[in-house]
Structure 1
C-alpha cells in the first residue's frame, strides 16, 4: 500500500510545488514507484509534469483532481505506486480536509517570512483535527540573516515536528522546476544534499 505525502500551506509562494516535485524525483531515484497528484487549480505541478513528459519518460505517474476527488485518485494510485505526492491549493478550509485525511504525512513548507510563519498554525491545527502527523520544512533559508534566525527560533517554540533539513534560497530550484526536472537531476551540489537529506527524513518519519 502506497504512502501518501501531502504538501500543504495556507500562504501561496511558500514552495509547495517545488518541494512536491523534488521529493517525487528524490523518491523515484531511490527506486520507489511514485505518483504526483495535483489538486491546486493553478496546476503548477501538472505543468511541471507535462514539461517533464516532453523531454522523455517522466519516470512517475500523474493525476489531477478536485479537492473532493482526492480519495478516489489516491485509491487508484496506491495500487501501482509506493508513494503518492499531493500538491494542494494555498488555503485552509474544508476543501483541504480530504487530502489531509488521505495522508500518512503532511509537509508544511515555511519560507523565511513572518507571513509564512503566521500561516503555519492553521495548517497544523487542521491536520491535528483529522489526526494526521505533520513536519515543518524551513524553505528558502538565507543563513546569517536576522529574519531567518527569528523564523527558526519561532518555529522551535512551536510544539510541532520540524525537519532537521533546511532548504536554502537557491536559484537552481526555480530553474529546474521550469525545466520539468528535480534538482537531483542537475548534478551534485548543496541542493542535492538538501533534498536527499529531506527525503531520508521523510522515509524515517513514515517508516
Structure 2
C-alpha cells in the first residue's frame, strides 16, 4: 500500500511547521511505522535538525528516512518515498510557491499550524484556499498555545466559520520542544514524561486516525 502523505503548510513563517514535522516523525517512527521526512523549504531547518540527529543516533536517523528536494526532483523523490514507506511528512516553505502546490496536491491531508494570534489566523487563508482548490482535506492545529487565553477560543471560533476542522489536540508553548530540536531529538526521546510528550502523542494519534492509519 502506498504511503500516506501529510503536508504541513502555513503561509506565515514561524508557525512551527518544522518542529511539528520533526516531532510527529519521531512519534510515528517510535510506534513502528516506516516514516519519511521530505524537506522542501529552502531555509533547510528540518535538514539541519536531521543532521544533528544523524550524528546522535546514526545514519538511519532512528528509523526516519530523510530527503531534501525541490523543483523537478520533488515529484520523483516523493514517489520513491511513497512507494517504500508507510507515512511521509512534508515540511513546506512559508509561501505559496509551485512546490507548495505540488505538496498539497500530493497530500492525503494538510496540517495547518496556527498560533493563537490574529496574524496567524489571517495567514491561514491562502493555504486553506490552495487546499480547497486541490480538493485536499485540511485540519488546523493550535501550536505554541498558552495555558489560558480567551484569544484561543476567539481564533477557534473564527476558524470554525471556514468549515475547516480544528484538531482536538493542542501543542503548548513549551521550552521542551525547542530543547529537543536543538539535540536532534523528539520530546518523546528527550522528555518522555513531560506534558509536551503527551501532547505530541495525542496529536500523532489524532492525525493517524484522520489518515486511516490508526
Q: TM-score, normalised by structure 1?
A: 0.95
Whether 2:73 is the aligned partner of 1:69: answer yes
> Unaligned stretches of 5+ in structure 1?
none
Decide whether the 8 Å contact of 1:139 with 1:167 is kept in 2: yes
Whole-Å separation in 2 of the counterparts to 1:95 and 1:80 = 22
Whether 2:195 is the aligned partner of 1:187: answer no
Q: 1:96 — aligned with what?
A: 100
In the TM superposition, what are the counterparts of 1:15-30 in structure 2 within 5 Å? Answer: 15-30=16-31
Whole-Å separation in 2 of the counterparts to 1:56 and 1:18 = 18
> Unaligned stretches of 5+ in structure 2?
none
Whole-Å separation in 1 of the counterparts to 2:81 and 2:57 = 21
Give 3-state SS (helix, strand or coil) of 1:55's partner.
Answer: helix
Q: 2:126 — aligned with what?
A: 122
Of stretches 104-113 and 139-148 in structure 1, the one that deviates more from structure 2 is: 139-148
> In structure 2, do the counterparts of structure 1 residues 67 and 9 end up closer, same or farther at CA, with 3 Å as the change threshold?
farther
Whole-Å separation in 1 of the counterparts to 2:162 and 2:134 = 19
> In structure 2, do the counterparts of structure 1 residues 67 and 10 end up closer, same or farther at CA, with 3 Å as the change threshold?
farther
Q: 1:8 — aligned with what?
A: 9
Q: 1:205 — aligned with what?
A: 210
How far off is 1:152 after superposition?
A: 2.5
How far off is 1:206 after superposition?
A: 1.2
Decide whether the 8 Å contact of 1:141 with 1:167 is kept in 2: yes
Q: What per-residue deviation string (whole Å, max 9, x for no partner) do you get for residues 63-116 of structure 1?
A: 011144322111111222111110000012444111111111110000121100
Decide whether the 8 Å contact of 2:156 with 2:166 is kept in 1: no
In the TM superposition, what are the counterparts of 1:74-93 in structure 2 within 5 Å? Answer: 74-93=78-97
Whether 2:189 is the aligned partner of 1:163: answer no
What is the CA RMSD across the aligned residues, in angstroms? 1.2
Give 3-state SS (helix, strand or coil) of 1:75's partner.
Answer: helix
How far off is 1:172 after superposition?
A: 0.6
Number of matched residues? Answer: 207
Of stretches 46-55 and 88-97 in structure 1, the one that deviates more from structure 2 is: 88-97
Whole-Å separation in 2 of the counterparts to 1:177 and 1:116 = 22
Give 3-state SS (helix, strand or coil) of 2:76's partner.
Answer: helix
Decide whether the 8 Å contact of 1:67 with 1:96 is kept in 2: no
